Chain A
Amino acid sequence: MLTRRTALMGAAIAALMIAAPALAADDLKLPRERVELVAPPFVHPHEQATKAGPKIVEFKLTVQEKEVVIDDAGTKFHAMTFNGSMPGPMMVVHEGDYMELTLVNPATNSMPHNIDLHSSTGALGGGALTKVNPGEQAVLRWKATRPGVFVYHCAPEGMVPWHVVSGMHGTVMVLPRDGLKDRDGKPLHYDKIFYIGENDLYIPKDENGKYKTYDTVGESYADTTEVMRKLIPTHVVFNGRVGALTGKNALTAKVGETVMIVHSQANRDTRPHLIGGHGDYVWETGKFNNPPEKDLETWLVRGGSAAAALYTFRQPGVYAYLNHNLIEAFELGAAAHIKVEGKWSDDLMKQVSPPGPIPPDKLGAADPATFSR
């Protein structure tokens, strides 16, 4: 059942359809639904609250190893991704649903991969049951028992951090069946959802300080690990590259619209901030059974977790949404922009006097004696 709100969300074609049971034995007598994923910053259409009973929701993630460009200088690196995007797509279910996830590792890839879903329970988050070599796939079913936004990531033995910082991380959102609520139990809704995945990158440099390129992802491993061990990223980016969400790719909203911003960081702490706005309701730890905090300026996303924030835009303009370690935002890339259309409110803000000369007999000539008393 698509609501009007649902129809507003996301850019891609909705494809909610009842599918025949797939590979897994159907020991649960529950209805099934297959979801077609969309690339971030968008999220597949979903109900914010549901009256229907629990179901089995089918998703498919295909691992893609590919070379990508990560900044305007044309720096390249060999990414490892879920479905080709950094972060991997967001997968949304409701509390009590079962997610049935098919993880595909095409024969064209060079490495084994798996998936650890922080939202699941047991077997290293599914990592121990999903290790697929190139040319294999596995299907994992897990029950969504805790509502919230959660990280998922690849966790292959011996090289977990390398796969994660190379792009293999994403987000699961488990919504309460009756929807989001404030601390008093009042329902909360969003008109739009922006899905931000922050990624710290560690690109090796040659002796002249130029970023190195490699023929294969495997060849970059040793050098990359050496950079990683120093813990200083060369790039910190939203959605896969510097400027992925700025300029022509800036996010858009309207005054009066309520936006949910989900911010996911699988490896490293970050602290999102909306310049010129706030977090009206923020689940800083990302788990919806805890009441949201109100009116935040900046919130902390712990490395290995996701956070969710609701904000209703009240003023038009161009907003920057960034990691408020400003060095990481402006020097390393962790910034997005949101263009907000609407009517300016003089009540909220007005330029009383534009920049101009300092009047000599006012500010400049203040008598010090009046302050010393």
Chain B
Amino acid sequence: MLILMKMKTAMLAGALAAPILATVLSPAPPHDDDGAVRLSPASFSYRAAGDFSRNGRPVEGLMRKLSLPADLIIMKRQVTVAEYARCADDGACPKVPVPNGSLDVPVVGVSWHDASAYAAWLSRRTGVTYRLPTDEEWTFAAAEKARDEALPLVDPADPAQAWIARYEAESARSKPAEKAVQPAGTFGTNSNGLDDLAGNVWEWTDSCFLRTSLDDGAERITNTNCGVRVVEGAHRAYMTDFIRDPKSGGCAVGIPPTNLGFRLVVEPSSPVAAAFSRNLAKLLRRT
């Protein structure tokens, strides 16, 4: 009973887990030095995520010119099996199966909850606040590796045209040939020095699914669903937060993300900047 309670507490990433004890017992550092990248704010193009409609019919997401409010510190690599395993060994992250036994590959088969538990654990262990990036932050860091997939506008009187267009766009996506995870660096480095963006591992972001109305020229969020998060990689996807192994569903088939993994960003330490960052999405929408 005691063990069960202890496990449950740890699973919930509760603050009662014993970080000091764990530090003493565990010889390895919680996160390997991967040369995290610091990016200074610069202007970038961002296609807003979620579903948009104008006067009752679907339209493409708005394209915005954005600039992040502060430097972005982001992991160069996706979190590896070895790193995640330390969190799992501490009882702070659910164990996930490791397919081929390799430790120096991105951890995959993780849900948004798993990734968030890892961020909470790593923050406790290091004293630095880590979290998942927002979709805006991910897009900025991914630079040329981010894909803008706006769908063609369609005849409002004929919704089937949109479905066929969407189906064909999704069917035409080139998908990674290999599902098996590859050693870090396999999919190259982008202009910001980040590895393996848009390879065969998609990355969780912290951004919730939004439904936005553009009626009468005004932008209005009509629904926020944080049970569904934005997932980024070779294409953008929306994923229910407890999913670990994505598959295509319903009649919308397309190509689902091959694997789900993640990398983290460092929350700026200044309380002002932190608050700024937390409200990033909100602030960005006003710009």
List of A residues within 8 angstroms of B163 by Cβ: 317-318
Judge whether B164 and A317 touch: CB under 8 Å.
yes
Judge whether A356 and B254 touch: CB under 8 Å.
no
Q: Which of B28-36, B79-87, B132-140, B153-161 contacts A (4 or more CB under 8 A)?
A: B153-161
**What separation, in Å, do the CA atoms of A210 and B168 have in the docked complex?**
32
**What separation, in Å, do the CA atoms of A339 and B99 have in the docked complex?**
36
Q: How large is the interface on B (under 10, 10 to 19, 20 to 34, 35 or more residues)?
A: 20 to 34
Closest B residue by C-beta to A342: B160
List of B residues within 8 angstroms of A319 by Cβ: 251
Beyond A247-B255, A344-B158, whether A330 also contacts B167 by CB under 8 A is: no
Beyond A317-B160, A318-B163, whether A250 also contacts B171 by CB under 8 A is: yes
Q: Give the Cβ gap from A341 to chain B, nearest Cβ, in Å.
A: 7
Option from B56, B167, B178 in Cβ contact (under 8 Å) with A250: B167
List of A residues within 8 angstroms of B167 by Cβ: 250, 318, 337, 339
List of B residues within 8 angstroms of A320 by Cβ: 250-251, 253
Cβ of A340 < 8 Å from any Cβ of B?
yes
Cβ of A66 < 8 Å from any Cβ of B?
no
Option from B57, B99, B175, B252 in Cβ contact (under 8 Å) with A354: B57
Judge whether A73 and B179 touch: CB under 8 Å.
yes
Cβ of B172 < 8 Å from any Cβ of A?
yes
Option from A247, A316, A331 in Cβ contact (under 8 Å) with B164: A316
Beyond A210-B99, A317-B164, whether A351 also contacts B171 by CB under 8 A is: no
Judge whether B251 and A337 touch: CB under 8 Å.
yes
Closest B residue by C-beta to A319: B251
Cβ of B102 < 8 Å from any Cβ of A?
no
Judge whether A340 and B253 touch: CB under 8 Å.
no
Judge whether A330 and B249 touch: CB under 8 Å.
yes
Cβ of A315 < 8 Å from any Cβ of B?
yes
**What separation, in Å, do the CA atoms of A337 and B161 have in the docked complex?**
15
Q: Give the Cβ gap from A353 to chain B, nearest Cβ, in Å.
A: 7
Cβ of B205 < 8 Å from any Cβ of A?
no
Judge whether B160 and A344 touch: CB under 8 Å.
yes
**What separation, in Å, do the CA atoms of A315 and B157 have in the docked complex?**
13
Q: Give the Cβ gap from B197 to chain A, nearest Cβ, in Å.
A: 22
Option from B222, B249, B253 in Cβ contact (under 8 Å) with A247: B253
List of B residues within 8 angstroms of A315 by Cβ: 160
Which A96-130 residues have C-beta < 8 A from chain B? none
Judge whether A275 and B251 touch: CB under 8 Å.
yes
Cβ of A325 < 8 Å from any Cβ of B?
no
Judge whether B223 and A357 touch: CB under 8 Å.
yes
Q: Give the Cβ gap from A171 to chain B, nearest Cβ, in Å.
A: 26
Which A46-84 residues have C-beta < 8 A from chain B? 72-74
Cβ of A158 < 8 Å from any Cβ of B?
no
Judge whether B161 and A72 touch: CB under 8 Å.
no
Which A299-335 residues have C-beta < 8 A from chain B? 315-320, 330-331
Closest A residue by C-beta to B256: A72
Cβ of B111 < 8 Å from any Cβ of A?
no
Which B119-172 residues have C-beta < 8 A from chain A? 157-161, 163-164, 167-168, 170-172
Q: Mark B67-103, 1 if CB is under 8 A from A, else 0.
A: 0000000000000000000000000000001010000
Q: Give the Cβ gap from A250 to chain B, nearest Cβ, in Å.
A: 7
Cβ of A343 < 8 Å from any Cβ of B?
yes
List of B residues within 8 angstroms of A290 by Cβ: none
Q: Give the Cβ gap from A148 to chain B, nearest Cβ, in Å.
A: 31
Q: Mark A236-276, 1 if CB is under 8 A from B, else 0.
A: 00000000001110100000000000000000000000011
Q: Give the Cβ gap from A293 to chain B, nearest Cβ, in Å.
A: 25
Cβ of B190 < 8 Å from any Cβ of A?
no
Cβ of A184 < 8 Å from any Cβ of B?
no
List of B residues within 8 angstroms of A72 by Cβ: 175, 179
Cβ of B6 < 8 Å from any Cβ of A?
no
Q: Give the Cβ gap from B55 to chain A, nearest Cβ, in Å.
A: 9
Cβ of B211 < 8 Å from any Cβ of A?
yes
Cβ of B53 < 8 Å from any Cβ of A?
yes
Q: Give the Cβ gap from A103 to chain B, nearest Cβ, in Å.
A: 37
Cβ of A218 < 8 Å from any Cβ of B?
no
Closest B residue by C-beta to A343: B158
Closest A residue by C-beta to B158: A344
Q: Mark B247-274, 1 if CB is under 8 A from A, else 0.
A: 1011111110000000000000000000
Q: Give the Cβ gap from A322 to chain B, nearest Cβ, in Å.
A: 10
Beyond A316-B160, A318-B167, A354-B53, whether A74 also contacts B247 by CB under 8 A is: no
Judge whether B179 and A74 touch: CB under 8 Å.
yes
**What separation, in Å, do the CA atoms of A250 and B253 have in the docked complex?**
11
Q: List 29 A-B contacts (CB under 8 A).
A: A73-B179, A208-B99, A246-B171, A246-B253, A247-B171, A247-B255, A248-B171, A250-B171, A275-B251, A316-B160, A316-B161, A317-B163, A318-B160, A318-B164, A318-B167, A318-B252, A318-B253, A320-B251, A330-B247, A331-B247, A339-B164, A339-B167, A339-B168, A344-B161, A351-B159, A354-B56, A354-B58, A356-B211, A356-B222
Q: Kindly list 9 other residue pairs between chains A and B, CB separation below 8 angstroms, not including A72-B175, A339-B168.
A: A210-B99, A247-B254, A250-B167, A316-B158, A318-B163, A318-B164, A320-B251, A355-B211, A357-B223
